[in-house]
Amino acid sequence: GIVHIAPTFGADDAFVAKAAGVPSLFMVNKKGETALFTAVRRNQAKPVEFLINLIKAKDDAETAAARKAFVSLKNLAGEDAFTVACRADVHMVLSPLFAAGAEFNTSHLVEAAAANRIAIAQWLIEHGADVNAEGVMAAAFGSPDDEDTVTYKYLIREGGVALERTPKCCKDIRE
């Protein structure tokens, strides 16, 4: 069957998709984002999986490549859906994006550590991010607000090397 994902949420949905000559799955908003980005920002894992699974090709290898290309599309800010999820602190959608071929790097963990996004940091570390990569520990420690110590403590428990200027609140963490 034909799946129509409403790009404009109005009576002109079918007209807009038809006029553009593309399925609405690939319609973009003013930020250059597809329906996938909307589902990601809302932390909706099932719709993310649904959208990814709409992409099919003649064999498994081509399907995997097409899905990876789909989740790797960038918005006008140059961010892919995985980066948007990390920045929005929505961890439920990371696994389906990763399974479809999304990639992450040290900058994702540095940003999660700096913003005290513990669930994102946990997911990244569970999936192979290096807790001792350059900038990670400093990012967790760097905020003047006390909440960052939660992420800092977590990173130390996961093998992160404590900074020499360990704050008073964290001195007993290795004991």
For the CA atoms of 161, 162, 163, 167, the dihedral, rounded to the nearest 10 degrees, stands at 170
Spatial distance between the Cα atoms of 124 and 82, rounded to a whole number of angstroms: 11
pTM: 0.75
Give kind and range of the element (H or E) at residue 50.
helix 45-53
- Given a cut of 50, whether residue 7 has pLDDT beyond it is no
pLDDT of residue 163: 76
pLDDT in tens, 123-169: 999 999 999 999 999 888 865 545 546 888 899 999 998 776 545 55
